[in-house]
Structure 1
Amino acid sequence: MKKLLLACGLALLLSGCDKPKVDASTDETMKESLQKVKDSLPEAQRQEFSEATSTIVMNSIDMKAMMAGAFSGNGDSVATQQAEKAKSALNGKTAEEIINEAKAIQAERARKEQQQAMQEIVELKDKQAKALQAKEDLKRFVVNKSRFYFQKQEYGNPRPVIELSVQNDTSTPISRAYFKGTIASPGRSIPWLIDTFNYSIPGGLEPGEKADWPLLPNMFSDWGKVEAPDDAIFTVEVVKLDGPDGNTLFDAEGFSEDDQKRLEMLLTKYATK
């Protein structure tokens, strides 16, 4: 019985030693040995081997060094060095070793990818929370009245006019206000115009102060081209405010639609893992 077990163990050892390996001593031997290793595998495993080989080769190449070499005029030398690294990464390995190493590389990539994705999720959620808070804070800069119309001129086409009555109920002086204006008709799902505009406030607007502003958009912009019926209503939303130092105080648009889509994709793909 012991002799039988010894014989079986020896047979397994010899069979492992007989597995073909990659010989990367020259380009020719590497090409021939890779084909030999591949041919030794069952048909169903050959594609996996080819993909594993590519994974190891690409993982061993330093693309930054390649790009730096190309820009420095030393591209051929760097390319040769990287090719030798790729050969060394495969040299002496069996098909099983190559496949297992590729799996380890892919697993590490997936781990890093998830780690980065989770960090981005945290950043996007923080950005979203700040934008939501900003929307609440912006409600304290009140638009009491908004009106849009075209004013006739003695010469030329009528010019667009935006009239606003505002009140600063925040606790901070405001130097510039940013708005999103919408011209829409009751019962229509699509507005005639949605566009943004802003106003740099001469002398600023102190807490508690009110102001009436007649603003003149560029007549060659969309404001000057819109053709809305008489029943259209003009509404205005405050989307951003700058403080007395000119820096952003509140920004409701700090979290965009693209940010929302990105967050939803990352949560779907990674948050449940």
Structure 2
Amino acid sequence: MYSKFNVFLIALFAPVAIASPTGEEVMTWLDTAESSNDVTQDMIMLIKRDDQVLKRVLKSESIRTNKGRKSFMEFSLPTEVKGTRYLTWSYDDPKLVDDMWLYLPNANLTRRISGSANRGTFMRSDLINEDLQSRSVQDDAHKLLNVEPCGEVQCYVVESVPYDSTSSSYQKRVTWVRIDIFLVHKMERYSKQGRLLKTTWYGGHKQFGDYWMAQKMITKSAVNDSETLIQFNNIKINVGLHETDFSQSRL
């Protein structure tokens, strides 16, 4: 039989159960990990569809503001899309609708992308225009589904469902968030009918100053035989961009 002292020792050294975080807490940590003030990077996009490979070269800039994040992209190759520009304003306030504009140099035309246009394909890739926008943590209800291995590390698996179903082309997103650096390892996007549409993997994570960044992402369609690889090069963090660099006049 155990003495009172034995029982005390067992209680003292027994493993302590640590409560799992909520889905919202995990996604907040993810948002915080990606909280650099500004980022510039060169991007190479390879779109593989059947036996065809399309190549796109562009530069991307983004900045965090007191209302959310703004980004600007300009294509340099191939010739037929050179000078095409995208400007995106993503808001943290879920009551505000994100703004997006596209400039087409051949037509010398700037048009606002909204509503059903958000479901349009981004430069013939496996991404749509909505995928370029940063969703606020407050836009969705988040549920922690699991903690499981993802490669050599562990990941939190979080399901995110929009509070306003009209605010997204997707019924839900499922995100694998690395526990070590709180960045995305993988993301699945589902149709309004609950069908898996595509999966995106992030890799080549590297530390730049105080922040970690992925150096590549691969999006594979679950609907057809296609995938899009994006390689991020010449990544620079906090170079001193200004919010004025992300005005509509730049288009």
TM-score (norm 1): 0.22
Higher helix fraction: Structure 1 or Structure 2? Answer: 1
Structure with larger RCO (C-alpha < 8 A, sep 6+):
2
Higher strand fraction: Structure 1 or Structure 2? Answer: 2
